[in-house]
Amino acid sequence: MTLRIAFSGKGGTGKTTLSALAIKYFIEQKITPLLAVDADPNSNLNVALGLEFKETIAEVREEVLEGRVPQGEAKNEFILRRLNEILVEADNFDLLVMGRPESQGCYCAVNHLLRDYLSKLSQQYRVVVMDTEAGMEHLSRRTTDDLDILFIVANPDPVSLRAALRIQEISGKLKLRIKNKYLIINRLNSTLPDPLREMVEKTMLNLIGTIPEDREVAEAMQQGKSVLDLAPSPASQSLHKILEAISTPGVEEVSIRW
């Protein structure tokens, strides 16, 4: 059975970094094979993983919309074949990049096909980790549908926490199939200030943990280095504790506070 995890949040909260660190955790725990999905049009997950990509799902979608499916090949067969062709293969995991659509028009039918076949492709892996688009567009597009866990990442400030709450609310209104939603506060080196703590407590956000600011991880991201090569650090160790907690029976009631 495949474990499907996504990291969401306002731009700049560090969701791409945490997605990469989560992949590092599962590889170290030998929970593979693993599929990494970069669902952010501003693709950066590949850099954090030390990989390059040539093609994206958006390009496959354009091929379908422009009628470039070879004669004699069914559209659904074409999509499944192309998804396998654009996979970037690495040790213990593969990477699939969503990309940015180039043309105007309705993508509904093609998006439906892509979601269907991405779901089928995901069944080949033990874990799928998705880095979503910044903000809330991924919710209306249902990119983050059919998940076991949605981690909503926020920084310790009111604007970021309000965005996290909005993601929580919209995902509920859209009735997305998400089994568990948890808040992670990133870049917090001390206890959460009382006003922010009270803000979290008044919401439906389930705070499962916090991640400290980590100079080694930040420098690796700034220099375009893979976080997979980093030694254990405060950020990775904190995230690892969270990921260990989600596999614990009764995690739905877990709330690791401050």
Range of the structural domain that residue 170 is part of: 3-55+90-102+126-253
Residue 166 covered by a domain:
yes
DSSP, collapsed to helix, strand or coil, labels residue 12 as coil
Eight-state DSSP code of residue 123: T
User: In terms of DSSP H, where are the helices of the chain?
Assistant: 15-28, 45-48, 57-65, 75-86, 108-122, 137-140, 158-173, 194-201, 215-222, 234-245
Count of domains observed in the chain: 1
Query: How far, in Å, CA of 227 to CA of 108, rounded?
Result: 35
What's the CA gap between 32 and 245, in Å, rounded?
19
Q: How many CA atoms lie within 13 A of 133 on its CB side?
A: 14
d(CA 146, CA 247): 18
Q: How many residues does the chain have?
A: 258
Considering the domain boundaries, does residue 121 fall inside one?
no
Within 13 A of 220's CA, how many CA atoms are on the CB side?
25
CATH number of the domain bearing residue 20: 3.40.50.300
Tens place of pLDDT per residue across the chain (258 aa): 889 999 999 889 999 999 999 999 999 999 999 999 998 878 889 999 999 999 988 888 889 888 999 999 998 889 889 988 999 999 999 999 988 765 555 556 666 666 777 788 888 899 999 998 875 454 445 444 578 999 999 999 999 999 999 888 887 777 778 889 999 999 999 888 999 999 898 887 899 999 999 999 999 998 989 999 999 999 999 999 999 988 644 444 333 332
Instruction: Give 222's contacts (C-beta < 8 A, 6+ positions apart).
Output: none
Instruction: Write out 28-93 in H/E/C secondary structure.
Output: HCCCCCEEEEECCCCCCHHHHCCCCCCCCHHHHHHHHHCCCCCCCCCHHHHHHHHHHHHCEEECCE
Is position 111 within any domain?
Answer: no
Q: Which position has the token pair 């062709």?
A: 85
Q: Is residue 77 in some structural domain? A: no
What backbone phi and psi angles, to 5 degrees, belong to 203? -100, 180
Q: What is the distance between the alpha carbons of residues 117 and 106, in angstroms, rounded to a whole number?
A: 19
pTM for this entry: 0.88
For residue 131, tell me if it sits in a domain. Answer: yes
Displacement of CA 8 from its chain's centroid (Å) = 6
